[in-house]
Amino acid sequence: MTVSTPFKAAVLVNAENKEDGISAVDLAFRAAFQERISSACPGAQVDFFDPIVAQIYPEPAQYDLIVLTGGTADAMAKDVPWVLKMQDFLRTTVEKCPTQKIVGICWGHQIVHVAFGGAVGPMEKLEVGVTPITLTSTGSSFYSSYLPSTERYNIHQFHEMEVKTPGQGFITLAEANQSLVNAANTILTIQGHPEMYAELSKLLLRDTQKYMGVDAAEKEALEINIDSPHDGIAIWKRIVQWAGEV
């Protein structure tokens, strides 16, 4: 697959907007995706789509990369129309545009696996902050030329659900189903947030503190972890490079 000039990415924003419009957190997330993709590929065109309310999807052939963001909906829901439509979009894209590159981030990672026969379930506890993720041997080959380590990457996490069973035909790149790629090398999924930075993570933590049940002492400990170094930029460089691979 040859990428276009400029590189074109379509970002499907899977976060629910507030009644009075797009929230400050959602705006910050969009800016983070814009910045990370542009840093990995200067001059990139990054377009955003709303699959929840407007339910407008990109035309795959017009983009080098389709990005599915994080979100809070139940990826396993059987009665949420936009979630089911997202699954249909993924399956249809694979069928009709078999070389299209797609990357799923956090909730995007989860919905990909549900769409292709996998399962998602709750974790024992909320995972927040920069976390070391151990690579498999295949994952080391996939990521390590972009990372300071051949054994792991460090990435922002913010989730309480995880992939329990991967989708059919996916190959594990990191332990605990933290990153996978399909056999066709066209769909890459990552549970963590390579687009996230410390202030954005703290903003999200403050915005959802009561919902997540994080008390003051836990919050202080989490914020220390949030400030740790991470490999988000390196991972985005790998994603952009991967988008041009056959």
Catalytic residue among 113, 156, 159, 193: 193
95 in catalytic set? no
195 in catalytic set? yes
Alpha carbon distance 22, 119 (integer Å): 30
Alpha carbon distance 165, 2 (integer Å): 32
Helical packing angle, 198-207 and 216-226, nearest 10°: 160
Residues 6 or more apart whose CB falls under 8 angstroms from that of 127 comprise 157, 158, 159, 160
Please state whether beta strands 119-134 and 152-165 pair in parallel, antiparallel, or not at all (unpaired).
antiparallel
* Amino acid letter, 28: A
Catalytic residue among 41, 106, 113, 156: 106
Catalytic residue among 113, 156, 195, 230: 195
* Amino acid letter, 238: R
Alpha carbon distance 153, 231 (integer Å): 6
193 in catalytic set? yes
Element (H, E) at 195: none
Q: What's the Rg (C-alpha) of the chain? A: 17
**Would you please indicate which residues are annotated as catalytic (active-site) residues?**
106, 193, 195
